[in-house]
Amino acid sequence: MIANLSPTSLLILAVSIIISLVIHEFMHAYAGHLLGDSTAKYEGRLSLNPLNHIDPLMTVVLPVLTLILFGFPILAAKPVPFNPDRLKFDEFGAAILAAAGPLSNLVLAFISALILRNVSLGSFMVNALSTFTYLNVALFVFNLVPIPPLDGSRILYAFAPEALQQILREIEPFGLIIVFALVLGAGLGGFLQSIDQSILNILP
């Protein structure tokens, strides 16, 4: 799917990334709002306007390159701010907020896969929805990796003992470097791709 991408396929991929990421970030902000924290709302993040969420380099260029190189996207948007002291359920509220983003990607993948299976479409739309489905599965899986600043680390943090919480806090400034090192040197990319494919196989 990612080899020899045409300009049209790259455009589809870029648009898919923007849509998927904006909804992902919006759901973080919306979950925080529902849990009692209006920080994201006051900073304009409770919005579907892409300009409020995306960073041209980290949100568009980086995921395209890493999808081509590794088979799945590594990307980042502007972090959605939240105040853990205002959230209901303390650390578990933060975990719910974190989970809202990846779960939105899984829902988007399910919907697009459902359309692909049940609606007769032209080749362009089949390509677009196939890319959208694959991307959202990859975003769901990648963001659940329990290494900060990825969402999976915040979910793990809520259930981890204090010693592990301290480790997560200490490695957070180096988190993306650690992720890249694992992808390049420890086979994380292939492992994540196998999970992606397993999920794709059970979608409608």
Give one word for 161, left, alpha or beta, with left for phi > 0 and alpha for psi -120 to 50.
beta
Q: Is 29 exposed, middle or buried (0-12, 13-18, 19+ CB in 10 A)?
A: buried
Q: What is the mean pLDDT of residues 77-84?
A: 88
Q: State how far the Cα of 132 lies from the Cα of 140, in Å rounded to an integer.
A: 12
Which alpha helices (DSSP H) does the chain contain, by range?
A: 7-34, 39-42, 62-70, 90-118, 123-143, 151-159, 162-171, 175-185, 188-202
Is 25 designated active site? yes
Record the tokens describing residue 113, joined without a space.
Answer: 């896969």
What is the band of 1 on the pLDDT scale with cuts at 50, 70, 90? very low
Report the alpha-carbon distance of residue 19 to residue 17 in Å, rounded: 6
Instruction: Report residue 14's pLDDT band, with 50, 70 and 90 as the boundaries.
Output: confident
The catalytic position among 25, 91, 170, 172 is 25
Please write the tens of the pLDDT for every residue from 136-179: 999 999 899 999 989 999 999 999 999 999 999 999 989 888 98
